[in-house]
């Protein structure tokens, strides 16, 4: 059941469901989601998913104890989209979020829309026909940690990456945890899934792209490489780096100079450095920064 608190502030939450009232989820809370649903949690993940409009929202569930401007903004946007809003105790939200830091809000949504990697070819062809700028693709190979995956996706969007490709197996997938780690940026990302990443890379090279792999053993610094033109940057897994089959398909293996007593960088940090070096070389768009 929903616990009511003496400082219950539900009256301050905007009424957004079809009945005009916030509905306690009570004992029927498990009916809110199915095996095909995903449960987002945390302000940023839920709000960015609402803004992106790529997922179907089955329900929004929030705590009556968390009434602040951010919650008001989320419930107001949900109201505009005619999405039902339910209230629940923090214990019930803990259960929904699987122990994740939900900040008093969860959303039952459809699964993240991923596109087969084979569909990217027609997209790239249309870019070229329109005379668009060279494309920038981020390939994430065997990134297993959801936090690293989320950080790489967020940095990729900030650095102007056009498309992100991940392998179907041996990799973290676009889960609620990844969305949370990306502060909701994942909800806006164009993510493609490849059954065979090495085969996809061969086709990408055949289309005219250059592929640069990032590895601590690379003989050339990322700051000395040319990262313009149609480019794919490959970031390897946290433990083994680039697998041999993927490494073989790279045109260049690049590294980041490291000083001090350590010999490696976190995968998401290394990827972020390389992506921003590529962005520096490719130009800053309308920002007017000097390369």
The number of beta carbons lying within 10 Å of the beta carbon of residue 289 is 9
Q: Is the pLDDT of residue 13 over 60?
A: no
Residue pair 268/155 in contact by the 8 Å Cβ criterion: yes
Exposed e or buried b for every residue in 114-137, given b needs 16+ CB within 10 A?
A: eeebeebeeebeeeeeeeeeebbb
- Compute the CA torsion angle 161, 228, 232, 125 (nearest 10 deg): 80
Does residue 60 sit in helix, strand or coil? strand
Q: Where is average pLDDT lowest: 15-24, 61-70, 152-161, 183-192?
A: 15-24
CATH hierarchy code of domain 10-110: 3.30.1330.30
What is the model's pLDDT at position 99?
Answer: 86
Tell which residue, 116, 165, 171, 118, has the closest CA to residue 146. 171
* C-alpha span between 54 and 111 (Å, rounded): 10
Burial class (CB in 10 A: 0-12, 13-18, 19+), 242: buried
Q: Is the pLDDT of residue 7 over 60?
A: no
How large a percentage of the chain has pLDDT more than 70?
86
User: pLDDT tens digits for 68-88?
Assistant: 888 899 999 999 999 989 999
Distance of alpha carbon 80 from the chain centroid: 25
In the sheet where 57-62 sits, what is the strand order? 23-24, 85-87, 57-62, 105-110, 37-41
Burial class (CB in 10 A: 0-12, 13-18, 19+), 99: exposed
* C-alpha span between 86 and 216 (Å, rounded): 49
User: pLDDT tens digits for 187-233?
Assistant: 999 999 999 999 999 999 999 999 999 998 899 999 999 999 999 99
Give the count of alpha carbons within 13 A of 278, CB side only: 32
DSSP 209-223: -EEEEE-TT-SEETT
Domain regions of the chain by residue span: 10-110, 115-284
User: Phi first, then psi: what are they for 59, rounded to 5°?
Assistant: -165, 150
Contacts of 26 (CB under 8 A, 6+ apart): 1, 2
What is the model's pLDDT at position 236?
Answer: 92
What is the model's pLDDT at position 195?
Answer: 95
- pTM for this prediction: 0.85
* C-alpha span between 83 and 146 (Å, rounded): 28
Name the fold adopted by 115-284: Alpha/beta knot (3.40.1280)
- Average pLDDT of span 179-193: 96
């Amino acid at each position: 059941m929903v616990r009511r608190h003496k400082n219950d502030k539900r009256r301050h939450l905007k009424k957004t469901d079809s009945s005009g009232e916030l509905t306690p989820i009570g004992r029927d809370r498990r009916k809110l989601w199915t095996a095909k649903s995903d449960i987002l949690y945390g302000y940023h993940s839920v709000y960015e998913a609402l803004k992106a409009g790529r997922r179907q929202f089955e329900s929004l569930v929030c705590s009556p104890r968390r009434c602040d401007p951010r919650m008001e903004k989320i419930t107001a946007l949900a109201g505009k989209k005619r999405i039902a809003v339910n209230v629940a105790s923090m214990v019930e939200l803990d259960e929904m979020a699987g122990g994740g830091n939900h900040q008093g809000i969860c959303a039952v949504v459809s699964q993240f829309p991923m596109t087969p990697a084979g569909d990217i070819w027609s997209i790239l062809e249309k870019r070229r026909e329109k005379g668009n700028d060279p494309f920038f693709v981020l390939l994430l190979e065997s990134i297993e940690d959801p936090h690293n995956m989320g950080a790489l996706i967020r940095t990729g969007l900030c650095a102007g990456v056009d498309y992100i490709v991940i392998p179907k197996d041996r990799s973290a997938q676009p889960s609620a945890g990844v969305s949370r780690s990306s502060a909701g940026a994942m909800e806006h990302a164009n993510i493609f899934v490849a059954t065979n990443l090495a085969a996809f890379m061969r086709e990408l090279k055949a289309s005219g792209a250059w592929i640069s792999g990032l590895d601590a053993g690379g003989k050339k610094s990322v700051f000395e490489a040319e990262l313009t033109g149609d480019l794919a940057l490959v970031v390897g897994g946290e433990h083994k780096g680039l697998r041999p089959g993927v490494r073989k398909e790279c045109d260049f293996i690049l590294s980041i100079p490291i000083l001090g007593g350590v010999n490696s960088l976190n995968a998401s940090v290394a990827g972020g450095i390389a992506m921003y070096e590529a962005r520096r070389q490719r130009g800053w768009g309308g920002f007017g920064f000097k390369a």
